[in-house]
Amino acid sequence: MNAPELYHLVLVACGAIAALCALACTYRVVVGPTVPDRAVALDTISTCVVGIVVVHALEADRSFFVLVAVMLAIVGFVTTVVAAKYLTEGAIIE
């Protein structure tokens, strides 16, 4: 096995692991016993999606997908902050 084949195999494995993580977190979103559990699972799903996009950027050798991953990470962060504020205070805008 040469280096490019190993590189491709590692990227496929990383993408599969991230997809399985997102799938497991989807179960937690649906069945989660509390709302904070669901919020954490959604945050983890967004992180897994960012990882999948970065793996795709490496595999396709396109830097555009890295920008997409950064934008997804920013949206995920803002969503997590808003959800945490809503869960702790009960209102987003006072």
17 within domain boundaries: yes
83 within domain boundaries: yes
Question: Are the C-beta atoms of 28 and 41 separated by less than 8 Å?
Answer: yes
Which structural domain, as residue segments, surrounds residue 33? Answer: 3-89
Rounded distance, CA 33 to CA 42, Å?
14
pTM of the shown model:
0.88
What pLDDT is stored for residue 26 in this prediction? 95
Number of domains the chain contains: 1
What pLDDT is stored for residue 90 in this prediction? 78
Q: Is the pLDDT of residue 91 over 80?
A: no
What pLDDT is stored for residue 93 in this prediction? 72
52 within domain boundaries: yes
94 within domain boundaries: no
What pLDDT is stored for residue 52 in this prediction? 97
